[in-house]
Structure 1
Amino acid sequence: MNAADYQSFADAWESRATIRTRPRRVLENDDKLIYPLSRQPLVLSETFLRECPEQRDFALVQTLYKFINDVVIFETEIVDKTARSIAKNRFAVTFPFACRYDAMTVVVDEDYHALVAMDFMQQTVAMTGITPIELPDEIELSRAIPAAVALAPEHLRSAVELICVAIAENTVTGDVAAFAKDDTVKQSIKGLMADHLLDEGRHSGFWSRMVRIYWHTASEDDRYRIAQILPVFIAHYLTNDIQKSFDFRLIDSLQISDAARRALKSEVSGLAFPINRHHPLVANIVRFFRSSSLLDSPCVQDALSDYLV
C-alpha cells in the first residue's frame, strides 16, 4: 500500500466513535455474571468447585479488576505512546497528515476507553464492596515490545514497535469480540465491550494500513531483519507469567485451607496454552500478518513457519 493511497476515516470517527455517540454505561445490580466464567478457568476447576464455590463472584470481580487494569495499561502506555508519536510527527517512520490525524483519533479513543474502564472499576467497587487485590503494574506487551525492539538495529526500532502494536491491536479486537457476545454477563459489561469493539474494529484496520504503508517502502534486508524478530515478540507476548502470578495472588486471598490453596495453584499452573500454532490468539495474529501484507514476504513465511497451518 502506498501512502498516497491512504484514505482517512475522519468522517466515520465523527459519526461512530464511542466518545461521540455512547452514553455512560451503568453497572446493573442483577443476577448476571460480572465476568465470563470461561475467561477465568480457576473458578471452574475441580478444587474450586469442591472447596469454595461460594467465593466465585469474589474471584470474578477480582478478575474483572485485572482485566480493567490491563485495558488501562494497554491503552495508555502501549497504544497511546505509538499513536501519539505518529500523530505528532515524532515517529521515526514518517506518515502523511491523513494518517497522523487518524492516529490522533486513536489516542482520543484509547484514553477514553481507559477512562470508561476506570469508571467501571469505580462502579463495581461501590456496588460490591469488594476492593481490588494487588494488580499487576505491567502486561505481557510491557515486556514483549521492549524485548523485540532491543533486537532491532537503531533504524528499525520504530518499525518493529509499529508492527508489535499493530499485532496487539488486531489481537485484542478478536478477543473483545468474543467477550461482547457472551450472554451470561451483565448487559452493561457486554455493552462496554461492544462499544470498545466498535472503536477497535476501526483501529485494527488503521494499524494494518500503517504497517502496509511501511512494509511497501522497506528494503528486502530490513524485511528480513524484522522477520527474524517476530517470533521473539510472539513468544514473549503469549506467555502466561503475569496472569499466573495474578491468579496465585487471587488464590492467596481466598478463604480456604492451605491444602486447597496448594491444589488450586497446582491446577492454575497447568492452564497455560502452549506457545505454538494451537494457541487461541495465534489465529488472530496470523490474520493480521495476512491483512498487513507481511505474510506475502517469503522471509516472514519462513520466520513464522511454526505458527502457520
Structure 2
Amino acid sequence: MTAADYKTIADDWERRATIRTRPRRLLEDDDKLIYPLCRQPLVLCATFIEHCPQWRDFVLAQSFYKFINDVVIFETEIVDQTARGIAKNRFSVPFPLACRIDAMTVVVDEDYHALVALDFLQQTVTMTGIQPLSLPQEIELSRALPAAQAQVPAHLHDAVALIGVAIAENTVTHDVAAFSKDASVKASVRGLMADHLADEGRHAQFWTRLVRLYWQAASANDRDSIAKVLPIFLARYLTNDLQKNFDLQLINHLDISSPLRDALHDEVAALAFPITRQHPLMGNILGFLQHSGLLQTPSVAQGLADYLHVAGRVA
C-alpha cells in the first residue's frame, strides 16, 4: 500500500458515526442485568453462588463501573493521544493529510465514547444508589506500551504506540461485540455497546491501514527492532492481573464473614488465564498482524511463534 492507495474512512464517518446518528440512551429500570454474569467470574464462583447471591447486583454494578473506567482510560489517555498526535502532525512517523483527517475523526469518536460511558455511570449510580469504589488508574495497555517502548530506540516509540493501539483496537471490537449480544443485559447497555462497536469496526480498519502504510516504509532494522518487543507487549497486554486484583479488593467490601471472604479470595486467586494460541483475543491479533503486513516479516513471524510456544508451555 502507498499513500495514493490509502482508503479514507471520512465519508463513512460522516454517514455512520454514532456521535452524528445516535440519540442519548437512557438506562431502563427493569430486571435485566447491568453487566453480563459471564464477564465476572466472582459471581460464578461456587462459594459466591451458595453463600453470597444477595451481593450479585452490587458486584455487577462495580464491575460495570470498572468497565466504564477502563473505556475512559483507553479512549482518552491512550487512543486519543496517539490519534491526536497523528492528526496534528506531531507524530514521529509522517502521514498524508487524508490519514490525519481520519485520525481526527477517531479523536472525536473516542472522546464521545468516554462521554457516553460517564453518562451511563452517572445514570447507574442514580438508579441503583450504589457508589463506585476506588477504580484502577491504569489498564493493561497502560503497562504494555511503556514496557515495549523501553526496549526500542527513541525514534521507534511512536511506531510501537501505533502498533500497540492498532492491536488493542482490533481486539476490543471482538470484546464489545460479545457484550452487545448478551440478551441478559439491559437493552440500553447493549445498545451502548452496539453503538461503540459500530465506531470501533471503522477504527480497526483505520489503524490496520495506517500500520500497513508505516510498515511498508519502515527499514529492515526498524522492523526487526519492533519484532523483538512484540512478545513483551503481548505478555503484558494479555493478562488478567488488574481484573483479578480488582475482584480481590471487591471481595473485601462485601459484608460477609472472614472465612467466607477467605474462601472467595482463594477461588478468585486460583482462576487461570493462559496466554496460548487459543486465547480468546489471539485470533483477532493474528488477523491484524496478517492484514497489516507484519506477519509477512520473518522476524515478526518467528518472534510470535517463539512467544506462543513459550506461553503454551507456561500455561
The Cα offsets for residues 147-191 of structure 1, whole Å up to 9 and x where unpaired, read as 111111122111111100100110101110111111110000100
Deviation at 1:307, TM superposition (A): 3.2
The Cα offsets for residues 225-262 of structure 1, whole Å up to 9 and x where unpaired, read as 11010000000111222111110111011111111111
Range 193-202 or range 221-230, more displaced: 221-230
Query: Which position in structure 2 is the counterpart of 1:185?
Result: 185
Distance 1:41 1:246 in 2: 12
Contact 1:149-1:160 within 8 A present in 2 as well: yes
Contact 1:82-1:162 within 8 A present in 2 as well: yes
What's the TM-score, normalizing by structure 2?
0.96
Contact 1:51-1:256 within 8 A present in 2 as well: no
Range 177-186 or range 277-286, more displaced: 277-286
Counting aligned pairs with the same residue, the percent is: 67
Range 15-24 or range 245-254, more displaced: 245-254
Query: Which position in structure 1 is the counterpart of 2:292?
Result: 292
- Partner amino acid, structure 2, of 1:93: V
Query: Which position in structure 2 is the counterpart of 1:226?
Result: 226
Aligned residues: 309
Query: Which position in structure 2 is the counterpart of 1:212?
Result: 212
Query: Which position in structure 2 is the counterpart of 1:55?
Result: 55
Deviation at 1:276, TM superposition (A): 2.4
Distance 2:223 2:282 in 1: 21
Query: Which position in structure 2 is the counterpart of 1:157?
Result: 157
Query: Which position in structure 2 is the counterpart of 1:16?
Result: 16
Query: Which position in structure 1 is the counterpart of 2:115?
Result: 115
The alignment partner of 2:60 has SS state of helix
Question: Which consecutive aligned stretches of 4+ in structure 1 deviate over 3 angstroms post-superposition?
Answer: 306-309
What's the TM-score, normalizing by structure 1?
0.98
Distance 2:225 2:145 in 1: 16
Query: Which position in structure 2 is the counterpart of 1:5?
Result: 5
Runs of 5+ in structure 1 lacking a partner? none
Runs of 5+ in structure 2 lacking a partner? none
The alignment partner of 2:143 has SS state of helix
Range 233-242 or range 103-112, more displaced: 233-242
Distance 2:39 2:255 in 1: 22
Distance 1:193 1:81 in 2: 22
Q: CA RMSD in A?
A: 1.1
- Partner amino acid, structure 2, of 1:2: T
Distance 2:87 2:54 in 1: 49
Distance 1:273 1:148 in 2: 21
